[in-house]
Homo-oligomer: A and B are copies of this chain.
Amino acid sequence: MSREILVELTNMCMVYEGSKVLVQRRSLEHGWPGVTFPGGHVEPGESVTQSVIREVREETGLTLAHPRLCGVKDWMNDGGSRYIVFLYKCDTFSGELKSSEEGEVFWAERASLPSMNLSSGMEETFRVFFEDDISELSYYRENPDDGWQIVLE
């Protein structure tokens, strides 16, 4: 008995070194404008971890040695499909920092993040990355006319 539904599978990774985190300033034309962490889609045939390594390499020039899953972010679209972001963290990497056309990447002090022009939803997403006892951020609304509720678990 298969119970498949339509899902968009994506990833996001916090690359960090001590108190610094690697952020990307996305431009308006590439969607989700503002400061965020690098990430992208999970492609067919690759594991989630492999998709994280590929996206971070494409967007930052760095090669991650050992990214680890730390949480998940998800919501139901009104049509019944689901959107899932696998959240990873990693402090082991090699290579030289290099921005891509998707946005400038640079190291920032973690404490300075709240004062930045963040990409939509990043404020609550940080909590999954930073707080060990939170491993899911989901958005929920009963009806398409309602606002989204933020659920942290």
Chain A interface residues toward B at CB < 8 A: 2-9, 41, 44-45, 47-50, 66, 68-72, 74, 76, 80-82, 86, 133, 135-136, 138, 140, 151, 153
Contacts and interface: CB of A to CB of B under 8 A. Distances in A.
Contacts of A74: 47-48
B5 A44 contact: yes
State the copy count for this chain.
2
A47 to B, nearest CB: 4
Nearest to A140: B47
The secondary-structure label for the interface of chain A is strand
Nearest to A4: B6
Given A6-B6, A8-B2, A135 B76 contact: no
A101 B1 CA distance: 18
B135 A68 contact: yes
Q: Which 6 pairs of residues, A with B, have the shortest CB-CB distance?
A: A69-B135, A47-B138, A49-B153, A7-B7, A4-B6, A68-B135
Contact of A69 (B45, B71, B151): B71
B80 A44 contact: yes
B9 A136 contact: no
